[in-house]
Amino acid sequence: MLLEPRGEVSLTVEQTRILMALTRTASTLSACGVITIITIFCMSRHFRNPMHRLIFINAFFNAFDVTCTMISVSGPAAGNKSALCQFQGFLNQMFPVADVYWTLVMAIDVYLIVFHCYDTDSLRRLEWKYMLGISFLTFIPALVLLFIDTEEKGPMYGSVTIWCAIAPKWVLFRIVIYYVPIWTSIVVIIILYCMVGIEIVKRRQALKSINTDSEIFLDDTVMPAEEPAAIPVKVSPSIHHASQGSTDGSVFTTKPSISRLEVPRRSSLSFRQYILMPLFFFLALLTVWVAPSTNRVATFINPSFASFPLLVTVGTTGSLRGFWNALVFVAVGMKSWKRRKEEEEVALRPAASDRMRRSQE
């Protein structure tokens, strides 16, 4: 039957040693990633936009996740009812799911930016709600499962070969409480990004059609965070008349003058920081969850299924969550920082040229 208990995979001493070495090496990389995120966020003001802030908060959740994966096979080796195994099972139930929820709230923020014109302050006011909500949704189930123990099936948390989690004898709970929330969140994230992508394409097409004569194109701006800057351009009366009645919250507006068009100044609310970073964060999430989900489906269909390479993949990718988060945090953040530096240099050039001209006069 589909719901019969799924047994553990029998590993040789050599396989156990290999698995422990790989998972702990990956956990060390994640620990370095967590430290990197916290250090850079605290030391550099260029890495403090709302998306960076969410990854920073999630880094503290990742720290507990690293603790879980660093224990590795020592949890199962200690025995299902041991304090170490139960502690690892609690961590394994709470913090991987929390990582998925943080990716979900990043997608929600992107949706709010594009469709509801949320600015930086509005997004920051949501952070404490996210923290409370995610902590509640993950901590309560993980804590309750810690106290479930029956004579027939034993404790809820037990060995799943590579670490302790919801035991194979409780397979239905493993699916409902663990994998269903994770993949439901992933599906919602995909839907939100599809909606955002369609909306951005629509806005870009509308902007291109209006700015054909003026040759103005907003390279990567999603929405203005500051007051728009008026730029002199030649706008036809028909375009001016149509834009006067626009109330759809689009990223461009025009003044009641046929000689000026308002476009948003470049700000922190840009495509790279508010769309690209969460998207890469989501792609990293998928790389983490494909292998364990594949393994779970395979063992659910065939209880005798066993694959050491797949177990190695599950243990390694599952231990790299903090590393992937740091990689996205630094890589996308550095691009945004370099772009801002270039824009500041361009903005300073006219002033420098003006001072040089005056000195020559």
Please list the rounded mean pLDDT of every run of 10 residues in the chain (361 residues).
Answer: 51 90 96 96 85 93 96 94 96 95 93 89 94 96 95 92 91 90 92 88 78 46 41 41 41 40 41 66 81 81 79 91 90 71 64 61 59
Q: Tokens 């801002």 sit at which residue?
A: 340
Positions of E strands within 115-259? 149-150, 154-155, 157-159, 164-166, 229-232, 253-254
What pLDDT is recorded for position 200?
Answer: 82
pLDDT at 197: 84
Q: What is the CA radius of gyration of the chain?
A: 26
Of 49, 48, 85, 52, nearest to 68 by C-alpha is 85
What's the token pair of residue 235?
């706008």
Model pTM score: 0.77
Cα 7 to Cα 4, 304, 305: the distances in Å are 9, 7, 9
Length of the chain: 361
Assess contact for 235 and 259: CB atoms under 8 A.
Answer: yes
Contact of 90 with 146, CB cutoff 8 Å: yes
Rounded Cα–Cα distance for residues 36 and 205 (Å): 39
CB 64 within 8 A of CB 158: no
- pLDDT at 232 (0 to 100): 40
**pLDDT for residue 10:** 74
